A and B are shown apart, each in its own frame.
Chain A
């Protein structure tokens, strides 16, 4: 029997897509196809309604102006908040992470977010966090790899848990946390794009979307990419330790 297609909705990629965020949809589709599961990708144009029945929602990164425009549009999309609140898997990256939080710092100071995450974001102290990141996943203990480029921090409230514990990089800027997970939401500052570099995370979203285990799929090119990035970040860490 042909399984139902997985419907992926990318929220405003033209506004929230500064860091190749469409790549997360590409990774999901690719890994679904490898299991014979069809995936559709709907890119919601700014101003268009966000469908409430999607299987996976992706919310990406942006600079402040585009983020503010997206925030304004999202306020008029209660269906999206309802869907994610009701358990639809959602990946939120960088500006997306902040938009889903309780509060973040916009262009004119603190602003309320969508409140899907018990997280408060403000400004990271010190220079902008830019560079390769390695964390230890709080979901399955695997290594999460990515590239961070942000000036925001994230303080997790009791209802949210970190996505990973930082080994290399800055992450949320507090307690060694990187990202957040709460209910069906996975949030992170990692680019790369994050689901390309971390197939296990992509599979987690797909598993939740289809509601059953997926057969294993090892993508040799992606594994090579992971080895390369891990060793690059490793040498970075050695340099940092030597300096400290």
Chain B
């Protein structure tokens, strides 16, 4: 029985923790104590979330803490420019059909947050969302059994100015990984995934092709008429898993329905999550069924009642996800609040607004907020979209709209602001 298998692994971990106490594990225990104190202060006194601070304390005091904490565990990593939080939640739900697991559902996806998640994990199975730039580090540190690779596109260009450089770093690091579950439709991802020992290819689709028009292998222009291929012979791999119209098709061929979260991007995410969970031992049908429970990941797509408004919260961080989200929202025809910031995680240069076509929003009632709402107002003016008003915060932008359903689309930090604000208001 599958569950029996899991409990055997759990016993292995218990045996590890009962091994003779090494000096470095004493040190780790001490570091944990200090870290917990730091988190307590951060949460109670400074009213912050604290996990990242705890991780920082541990990493500072015990340099090899990540490796030690990952030893004896079954680790799965999830990364990519778009959809990694959702896909991580999906994989966690799908794999949890096999037994308990831990995951960084707080979205803290850089070393400190990852180490903190492991430090508090009481399970063998761990699913970690990893920031794209930290994938090589996470592979070296945690020795994952599987890495799920979704897509690579422009995002936070002030920090990661070259998609190709990220892909190269992934490719170098992935040679140490037993299996990747990789999106075959993304040329950079497919190229990076080649070095892993085994590949499970998923035809998860690609919403944004403008960062992958040239061949990662030889630099020539790719032929993108049907999938992608190059004269050098590098081309889209044949897929083990595919998607079509609300359905995930596993290698066995029997379709698994997926309708929970909207949009083709989420269907692709679901396919990759189910493929990875299946690899880890889950039953595909059970894994797919478990995805129905993944509805609002860290508040995304959640609907909250605020005064006279039912507000659906949508997060979109970069041009690829704004394009996909606007496509979805334009068909709903609800009044819109667009919340736009240009702080760290949003990308400090909002030029990418011009990679997004807003003309579908013409005729909708639109209000704006966020610290860079003026950049967005100018953008909308150029696409002929009327703006009802520009406000200092989300509540102001909401109040200006008639009662009823409202969709709120926000950049990363604007989304956090909106959740805090509406959390108080709701």
Contacts and interface: CB of A to CB of B under 8 A. Distances in A.
A23 B219 contact: no
A164 B162 CA distance: 27
Contacts of B216: 65
A225 B390 CA distance: 13
A69 B353 contact: no
A22 B214 contact: no
B353 A23 contact: yes
Contact of B157 (A15, A107, A149): A149
A97 B284 CA distance: 52
A228 B352 CA distance: 18
A64 interface: yes
A149 B161 contact: yes
A30 B158 contact: no
A19 interface: yes
B25 to A, nearest CB: 39
Interface footprint category on A: 35 or more
A72 to B, nearest CB: 8
Given A15-B213, A46-B213, A191 B349 contact: yes
A17 B382 contact: no
Interface string B50-86: 0000000000000000000000000000000000000
A46 B221 contact: yes
B352 A69 contact: no
Interface string B320-350: 0000000000000000000000000000111
Question: Which of B164, B354, B379 gathers most chain A CB within 10 Å?
Answer: B354
A219 B380 CA distance: 13
Contacts of A22: 354-355
Given A30-B382, A149-B161, A222-B378, A66 B352 contact: no
B292 interface: no
Interface in A189-244: 191-193, 196, 219, 221-222, 224-225, 228
A220 B211 CA distance: 34
Contacts of B106: none
A20 B377 contact: no
A47 B377 contact: no
B374 A191 contact: no
Question: Which of A27, A131, A193 gathers most chain B CB within 10 Å?
Answer: A193
B378 to A, nearest CB: 5
A151 B165 CA distance: 14
B353 A147 contact: no
Question: Which of A17, A107, A128 gathers most chain B CB within 10 Å?
Answer: A17
Contacts of B352: 19-20
B308 interface: no
Interface in A111-155: 128, 130-131, 147, 149, 151
Contact of A19 (B211, B349, B378): B349
A68 interface: yes
A20 B355 contact: yes
A225 B374 contact: yes
Contacts of A83: none
A26 interface: yes
Question: Which of B163, B213, B216 gathers most chain A CB within 10 Å?
Answer: B213
Contacts of B163: 63
A18 B154 contact: yes
Given A15-B213, A191-B351, A224 B161 contact: no
B377 A221 contact: yes
B375 interface: yes
Contact of A224 (B154, B351, B353, B374): B374
Contact of B161 (A21, A23, A128, A228): A128
A63 B349 contact: no
B421 interface: no
Contacts of A26: 354, 382-383
A232 B175 CA distance: 45
Given A26-B354, A30-B382, A147 B348 contact: yes
Given A14-B210, A17-B355, A69 B220 contact: yes
A109 to B, nearest CB: 15
B164 A225 contact: no
Contacts of B172: none
B161 A147 contact: no
B162 A149 contact: no
B310 interface: no
Contacts of A192: 349, 351
Interface string B150-161: 000010011001
Closest 9 CB pairs of A and B: A23-B354, A20-B351, A20-B354, A147-B349, A63-B162, A191-B351, A19-B351, A26-B382, A69-B214
6 contacts: A23-B353, A65-B162, A147-B349, A149-B157, A221-B374, A224-B377
Interface of B: 154, 157-158, 161-165, 210-211, 213-214, 216, 219-221, 319, 348-355, 374-375, 377-379, 381-383
Given A20-B319, A26-B382, A149-B161, 13 more contacts: A18-B154, A64-B164, A65-B216, A69-B213, A69-B214, A69-B219, A69-B221, A73-B221, A130-B158, A149-B349, A151-B161, A192-B349, A193-B351
